Amino acid sequence: MGYFMKKINLMIIAISIWAILTALLSSSIDLYITLLLIGTLIFFEIGDFFISKSDKDSLKIIIYILAGIFATVVLNKIYTIIK
């Protein structure tokens, strides 16, 4: 069980570092949301074997929220191009 907890903690730290780095290096909120979604999806796929079912469900909710925000950003960009 200790090995499992170490992998989860490492994954949480990696996602946190990714979120902080993208926040510092992104020039706009649109770019930040996009990079955060991409990073979260990558960490979800890589850590699939180390995440428990309840943690996967929680991470999926975060991914769905980020995907919804990303869809809103894309629709907004399409609207500004058409307008």
Q: Per residue of the chain (83 residues), what is the pLDDT tens digit?
A: 556 667 777 888 888 999 999 999 999 999 999 999 999 999 888 888 878 888 888 888 989 999 999 999 999 999 999 98
Longest dimension (CA), the chain: 56
pLDDT of residue 56: 84
- Measure the CA–CA gap between 39 and 75, rounded to whole angstroms: 21
The pTM (predicted TM-score) of the whole model is 0.78
In the chain, where the domains are located: 2-82
**Which residues in the chain belong to E strands, given as ranges?**
none
CA angle, corner 64, sides to 18 and 16, nearest 5? 15
